[in-house]
Amino acid sequence: MSALAGIKIADFSRVLAGPYATMLLGDMGAEVIKIERPATGDDTRTWGPPFTSDGDSTYFQSVNRNKIGVTADLTTDLGRAKALEIISKCDVLVENFTIGTMEKFGLGYEELHKKFPKLIYCQISGFGTSMAAAKLPGYDLLVQGMSGLMSITGADENSPTKVGVALVDVISGLHAALGISAALVSRAKSGVGQKIEINLLSSALSAMVNQSAAFAGAGVTPKAMGNAHPSIAPYEVYQAKDQRLIIAVGNDGQFLELVKVLNLDIANGSRFESNSLRVANRLALNEILNAKFATETASYWSEVLTKVGVPAGPINSIAEGINLAAAIGLEPIVTIKDPRSGKNSKTIANPIKFSETPVSYRLGAPELGADN
């Protein structure tokens, strides 16, 4: 049996953060009912290219497997009644509308909590629920910029760069799934549901961990450093004979092994003896290391350094990263044949492995209104 078998989720969310959270819960056995606008549905249905050979958006498919698909026009009495009927049978509701929208439809937390006190209500927003926050549009790119994430991403402080995926949405989805799981455990003890609030800005600040903590704890405002690390060295990208090479030395023991392999006598009694000294003398250290790495290929250095416990490897494409996962037995891609449409879809596997309650892949992403 799956971990969340018997749990039902009314999923009013669109785009990425909410759908990612509910998909993960669906993989764990929850029955997820995705409620969309008639005719148009989730915005990401049209986001592409790329599209599959069947003409479906790979973006939409990436976060919507294992869901029942229905439509309801919440601007009509009939649509609201349909939504309320679905909610009455569910344990969890997830939504990411503009603040106040669900209240306008009579589906806000306060009203639903009175009717269904066991309901767990998860609200995902861009910046929170205050009047000032409600005026700010919650798009991942904006939050990457406004949170400070872009200021520490890029070649230098003059080149703010977004992460190559909507990372804040993904992290917010993970926080939502975690919060919902905890609320289900709490309800099992108390018998009472509750409201969970997730916002992208708080998620981004939390996810910047040591970087945001540098300001919170020491008043230091971090800046972009390209591929370098503000607190560890050598921990960045170097140029080998044929391609770039990642070196991630996290302690003095690994540094000793690194310089042994490179035949360098710089570990003891020098400006590189400790991590703090290496950070302070990063440029001089990198000049020495790049000169050595340039003498052999990246694959050569990866092999010999990995053997002695020094983290090293190439910069792969996504295709190469997926192939690596397959080569070491991780089974990164799953193929799902949807029993409703008969279509086959390929998506990235759920990364969580359970020994007793494994995840399952029962449904592909639904056609709009597939289960009306």
Could you give the CA distance from residue 346 to residue 336 in angstroms, rounded to a whole number? 6
End-to-end CA distance of the chain: 27
Q: What is the DSSP letter of 262?
A: T
Examine the residue annotation and report whether 242 is marked as an active-site residue of this protein.
Answer: no
Q: Three-state DSSP class for 128?
A: coil
131, with CB counted inside 10 A (0-12, 13-18, 19+), is exposed
**Cis-peptide, bond into residue 234, ω within 30° of zero:** yes
User: Which residues on neighbouring strands pair with residue 195, listed in sequence order?
Assistant: 121
Counted residue by residue, the chain has a size of 372
DSSP state of 247: E
Cα separations (Å) of 342 from 58, 67, 126? 17, 15, 37
Catalytic residue among 11, 169, 265, 371: 169
List Cβ neighbours of 75 (8 Å cut-off, separation of 6 or more): 105
Q: How far is CA 87 from CA 99, 179, 252, 275, in A?
A: 19, 19, 56, 55
Cα 147 from chain centre: 16
Query: Which residues, other chains included, contact 352 with Cβ-Cβ below 8 Å and sequence gap of 6+?
Result: 24, 27, 28, 359
Contact between residue 272 and residue 287 where contact means Cβ atoms under 8 Å apart: no
Which residues are within 8 A (CB) of 49 and not within 5 positions of it... i.e. 6 or more apart?
none
Phi, psi (rounded to 5 degrees) for 295: -85, -15
Q: List, in order, residues 6 or more apart from 145 with CB less than 8 Å away.
A: 160, 162
- Catalytic residue numbers read 169
